[in-house]
Structure 1
Amino acid sequence: MKWILLLCLVDSLGLGWAVPLESLEKFTLDFFPNNSTLLAATLSTSFLVNIPKCVSSSKFSPSKVRIAVAQLPDGTTPTGVTDTEEIQNIRKTPQATIYFAGEFKSVPCTAARDLVVMDMDDSQYELITILGFQVGAEFCRQTKGPFCNQALKPSTFYRVNFFLLDDKSEIRGHTDWSPTIQTRSVKNYDSADVAFGGRAGGMVVITILVSIGGFVLVIALIAAVVLSNKK
């Protein structure tokens, strides 16, 4: 009888029963860097957060990152989540206030060292690359998959938390809950913001390239074509 109970317990753990947050490895993350004006911008139905670009652990190899979103009654209330079972799936529970919004592959530290984010600015050109996760990027009825990154409610408080999964898709770590962020209030829904719309999965990459040298080159090319036609 004891062997049967033990086998049932092992089988239950394999199916992914609740994992207490205190037993997970905790990582530090600056969700809203001060030097990023884009990540500091808040819309009425979405906002951007910084993502873990490189996570190193001696206990496991991070393979995926899963983001949890918590809707709160005010800006000071903690989430109250003590284990992963309290984080629901809005595909099954549409009214859930604490849910997993999405999942993406973790960036290996070797790749993070090789693929450096560049912020270059000189007299010739300016290149700015910003990578973040857009919380509130989807309408569930229009998307498929295990998770839904549903549009947020205006004038509402939220916190987010990134959970780290190993190569067996088991949750092994997390970043703790972010500071509270409040979405903008909208009085006229006809004029509600639509910035960053249509970004499936929430990953947002914005690249701005301003090249004075390129502009001059185009002008020179046009002038060459005009002169050659006159001959």
Structure 2
Amino acid sequence: MEDLEKIPLDFSLNNNMLLTTTMGTNFIVNIPKCVSTSNFSPVTVRVAVAQVPDSAALPGVTDTEQIENLRKTSQATVYFAGEFKSVSCRVARDLLVMDMADSQYALITVIGYQVGSEFCRQTKGPFCNQALKPSNFYRLNFFFLDDKSQIRAHTDWSPAIQTRNVTNYESADASFEGRAGGMIVITILVSVGGFVIVIALIVAVALSNKK
């Protein structure tokens, strides 16, 4: 890993309550909105998860070959949980944010990556983003792959994140279960239909009184 380029990343996002709140079997972290590098063109971001014994410990990984796959090694403590497409900084600058919603539109914003969103026995695919263990410490590392699927850079390990203590982790946090790849989207849908109806009724009453 010493030969890979280092990409800086703040794993929390302005102390956003959703990103800093952890569950018993999962948590959410900030994702790279774009990657600036002159050495290669980032195409894919692959997520590595490491279970560590305490908040001070670091994963004993010096090579990407030591990061395992839960499909092959179900008890791995350092594993790839999934991957998603990388957005170049040039494309990110060209994106526009629409701060508007009504009954016909929904504003969808990707805010982070959910770690611990799957039960491996219920999912398919090359990776498994398995539900985490309660009251345990985890660290994250984002690896960046080029157009030839070669790992070229990484973010280094995140600060240790501890999951909440629950007694039955398979039944906890059910509302977050089943998000493919762990990508979290917050959909803001503001319906104005009811408001329009109320205004229309008020106007109708006012007009009838004038008559």
* Alignment TM-score, normalising by the size of structure 2: 0.85
Quote the residue 2:25 is aligned against. Answer: 45
Q: How much does 1:130 deviate?
A: 4.9
Relative to 1, partners in 2 of residues 1:189 and 1:176: Cα closer, same or farther, differing over 3 Å?
A: closer
The equivalent of 2:197 in structure 1 is 218
| Partner SS state of residue 174, structure 2 | coil
Whose Rg is larger? 1
Q: How many residues align?
A: 200
CA shift for structure 1 position 32: 1.1
Does structure 2 conserve the Cα–Cα contact (< 8 Å) formed by 1:68 and 1:163?
Answer: yes
Contact persistence 2:12–2:30 (CA under 8 A): yes
Aligned residues: CA RMSD: 2.6
> Are 1:206 and 2:186 counterparts?
yes
Question: Is 1:144 the counterpart of 2:135 in the alignment?
Answer: no
Question: Shift of residue 113 of structure 1?
Answer: 1.4
Does the alignment pair 1:88 with 2:71?
no
**2:163 maps to 1:171:** no
1:112 alignment partner AA: A
Structure-2 change in CA distance of 1:106 and 1:222 (3 Å) = farther
**How much does 1:108 deviate?**
2.0
Q: Please say if 1:59 is aligned against 2:47.
A: no
Partners of 2:146 and 2:115 lie apart in 1 by 23
What is the deviation of 1:214? 5.5
Identity of aligned pairs, percent?
68
* Alignment CA distance shift 1:88-1:225 (3 Å): farther
Distance in 1 (CA, whole Å) between partners of 2:169 and 2:65 is 35
Gap regions ≥5 residues in structure 1: 1-20, 121-126, 227-231
Query: Whole-Å Cα distance in 2 between the matches of residues 129 and 139 of structure 1?
Result: 25
Residues 182-201 of structure 1 aligned to structure 2 (within 5 Å): 182-187=162-167, 192-201=172-181
* Aligned structure 1 segments of 4 or more residues deviating by more than 6 angstroms: 222-226
SS in 2 for 1:155: coil
**Structure 2 CA distance for aligned equivalents of residues 66 and 138 of structure 1:** 16
1:23 counterpart SS class = coil
Q: 1:116 to 1:69 in 2, by over 3 A?
A: farther
Q: TM-score, normalised by structure 1?
A: 0.78
Counterpart position of 2:3: 23
Paired letter, 1:154:
P
How far 1:118 moved relative to its partner? 6.2
